């Protein structure tokens, strides 16, 4: 059985909810300093997770945790401040988007950007989504060059 099922088996709405939960979990993880496993467990119990793609949620949260150094380093050239100085919601969205751009090639880069923007519009500060869009767009041109050029 493959970890990443064929696109036919994907429910975009469930994935959007998984991203929303992942953003909240990453925010909690950043603010609390507790381990990512504890945060995942907390969300698995507290939240109405059956409406989200649980596998995708866990992949996003674990993936950001596992690759945080690499993701932060890749984001750094496009930031106007240190990653730790970025608003926590925007920081979580940037890390989430960067992870998907690099490790979830099954997700079109436009979807990654649009979803990140929607999350920040929903949870972040008023102009945060513009910032996140600008940074992820530059990163997409680097990591998804062929796709960005053709799209």
Number of domains in the chain: 1
* Domain-located, residue 3: no
* Domain-located, residue 89: yes
* Domain-located, residue 1: no
Give the rounded distance of the alpha carbon of 13 from its chain centre: 15
Over residues 36-52, the pLDDT tens digits come to 888 888 887 765 666 66
For residue 104, what are the domain limits?
Answer: 11-150
Q: Which CATH number goes with the domain that contains 31?
A: 1.10.940.10
* Domain-located, residue 5: no
Long-range contacts of 84-88 (CB under 8 A, 24+ apart): 87/124, 87/125, 87/128, 88/27, 88/30, 88/31
Over residues 77-107, the pLDDT tens digits come to 999 999 999 999 999 999 999 999 999 999 9
Quick one: what percent of the chain has pLDDT higher than 90? 64
* Domain-located, residue 85: yes
| Beta carbons within 8 Å of 21's beta carbon, 6+ residues apart | 43, 47, 49, 52, 57
* Domain-located, residue 72: yes
* Domain-located, residue 49: yes
The pLDDT assigned to 61 comes to 94
Enter the DSSP assignment of 68. H
d(CA 2, CA 108): 19
The pLDDT assigned to 37 comes to 86
The pLDDT assigned to 48 comes to 61
User: What's the token pair of residue 17?
Assistant: 């909810």
State if pTM tops 0.75. yes
Enter the DSSP assignment of 130. H
Local confidence band at 2 (pLDDT 50, 70, 90 cut-offs):
very low
């Amino acid at each position: 059985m493959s970890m990443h099922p064929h696109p036919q088996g994907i429910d975009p709405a469930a994935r959007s909810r998984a991203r929303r939960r992942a953003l909240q979990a990453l925010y909690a993880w950043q603010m609390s300093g507790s381990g990512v496993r504890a945060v995942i467990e907390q969300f698995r119990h507290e939240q109405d997770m059956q409406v989200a793609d649980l596998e995708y949620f866990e992949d996003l949260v674990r993936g950001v945790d596992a690759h945080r150094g690499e993701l932060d380093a890749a984001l750094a050239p496009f930031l106007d401040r240190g990653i730790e100085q970025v608003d926590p919601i925007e920081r979580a969205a940037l890390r989430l988007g960067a992870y998907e751009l690099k490790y979830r090639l099954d997700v079109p880069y436009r979807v990654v950007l649009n979803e990140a923007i929607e999350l920040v519009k929903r949870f972040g500060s008023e102009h945060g989504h513009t910032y996140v869009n600008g940074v992820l767009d530059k990163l997409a041109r680097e990591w998804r060059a062929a796709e960005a050029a053709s799209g």
